[in-house]
Amino acid sequence: MTKRERAEDVVHSMLNNDPFSKWLGIEVVEISPGSVTLRMKVRKEMLNGFGYCHGGVTFSLADSALAFAANSHGKVSLLVKASMSYPEVIREGDILTARTEEQSLSNSIGIYTIIVTRNGHQKVGIFQGTVYRTRKDHMLNQTQSYNQ
């Protein structure tokens, strides 16, 4: 199995066991080791009291992108730190795309930046996250316990 095939298997296995990402309507656009691109459409139930997309929805999209990218190497990786900036508002019907860039990867730590764009071009979110890489290998197509 190539690294790319392994990455694809891990991401699809994770998504199949992730009801929240499914509820968001996340679509996997592209996968390679350490990188994913995800897409989703903002629905009415995702809006806040001001009529804009709730920041937690955008954060969740970016967090899923980070999780899929970090875990695509085949080792269970868990978020330990994250922050997000929101330079523009997001509206109902907007199509959000999250692209992951692996900044640094060691045996125990991975650092990622995820850029979220609206309708393919306008930057609406900048997410930075750090993961702890465990020694556990992913068990593909199974519900996995992440307890150490």
Q: The tokens 């499914």 sit on which residue?
A: 22
User: DSSP secondary-structure letter at 138?
Assistant: P
> Is it the case that residue 136 has pLDDT exceeding 80?
yes
Q: Where are the domains of the chain?
A: 3-137
- Give the pLDDT confidence of 85-135 residue by residue, as tens digits: 999 999 999 999 999 999 999 999 999 999 999 988 899 999 999 999 999
pLDDT confidence tier of residue 142, bands split at 50, 70 and 90:
low
CA atoms within 13 A on the CB side of 43: 6
Structure pTM? 0.92
- What's the Cα-to-Cα distance from 50 to each of 46, 59, 87, rounded to whole Å? 11, 18, 16
We find that the CATH architecture of domain 3-137 is Roll (3.10)
Q: Tell me if 31 sits within 8 A of 11, measured CB to CB.
A: yes
Residues facing residue 30 across a β-bridge: 37
Residues facing residue 120 across a β-bridge: none
d(CA 34, CA 103): 9
> Is it the case that residue 148 has pLDDT exceeding 70?
no
- Give the pLDDT confidence of 28-75 residue by residue, as tens digits: 999 999 999 999 999 999 999 999 999 999 999 999 999 999 999 999
d(CA 4, CA 65): 16
d(CA 26, CA 123): 18
Residues facing residue 83 across a β-bridge: 128
Q: Tell me if 33 sits within 8 A of 4, measured CB to CB.
A: yes
- What's the Cα-to-Cα distance from 49 to each of 25, 34, 112, rounded to whole Å? 21, 36, 31
